[in-house]
Amino acid sequence: MRTEACSVRILGSRYQQQFRELEMKLFSHSLLDDLATRAQTSPRARAHHNIHETPADPVQRFFVVTNRNSYFRPHRHIAKAELALVLRGRFHILTFDERGKVTARYSVGEDTGSMAYETPRATWHTLVADTDGSAFLEVKEGPYDPLTASEFADWAPPEGDPAAATFLKWYRTAQPGELPPKL
C-alpha cells in the first residue's frame, strides 16, 4: 500500500511544526486494490487503512475494504456517531432495537440512490457487502478508546463463532420487523 504525499517546503526551523500540518495526503485508487487483496486472505474478510496518525486524534478516519463473507457483529457507539462514504460496491445497513428486531434496512452505494450513511449515537447497527472488494471511508469522533468504542449486541454471536455464518446469511434478506435467529 502506498500513500502518496506532497507538500510545500517552508524555510526556517520555527515553521517545522506547521510544515507537518501542511502536508497533503493523496490516496491512489490502487490503495483500495491493495486492501481488497489483503481482505481476500484475512480471517475477517476485510482490511483497514488508517488515515489518522494515532488513536488519540480527535477525528478517526480510515478506509475499509470488505468481502461478502465478512461478518460485522451488530454494535452501537454510545457517545459517538459514525459516517461512512461508500467508494466501491454496495452495502446493506441494518438497524435494530434492543432485542435485535430489525427497525430499518438501507441500501447504500452502487445502483442505489445513496452514497453515504450516518449512524446516530447509540443505534444498534451492522452492514453487509453485496460484492467482494466493496469499500467505504469511515469517519468517527476520536479519540479511539477500545474499551468504550463499541458495545456489541448480546443477541448476536461474536466474530469467529460458528453461528456468525447463520447471522450473515440472515442479514442478506432480513427486513424491518424480523427478529434475529435464535442462538
In order of their start, the domains of the chain are 44-173 (2.60.120.10)
The pTM of the full predicted model, rounded to 2 decimals, is: 0.85
Q: Does the pLDDT value for residue 11 go beyond 80? A: no
Confidence at residue 57, expressed as pLDDT on a 0 to 100 scale: 94
62 in Cβ contact with 52 (< 8 Å)? yes
pLDDT tens per residue across span 126-173: 999 999 999 999 999 999 888 888 999 999 999 999 999 999 999 999
pLDDT tens per residue across span 84-118: 999 999 999 999 999 999 999 999 999 999 999 99
Identify the H or E element spanning 19.
helix 16-21
167 in Cβ contact with 180 (< 8 Å)? yes
148 in Cβ contact with 70 (< 8 Å)? no
Query: How do 24-27 and 3-6 pair as beta strands?
Result: antiparallel
Q: Reduced to 3 states, what is the DSSP secondary structure of residue 171?
A: helix
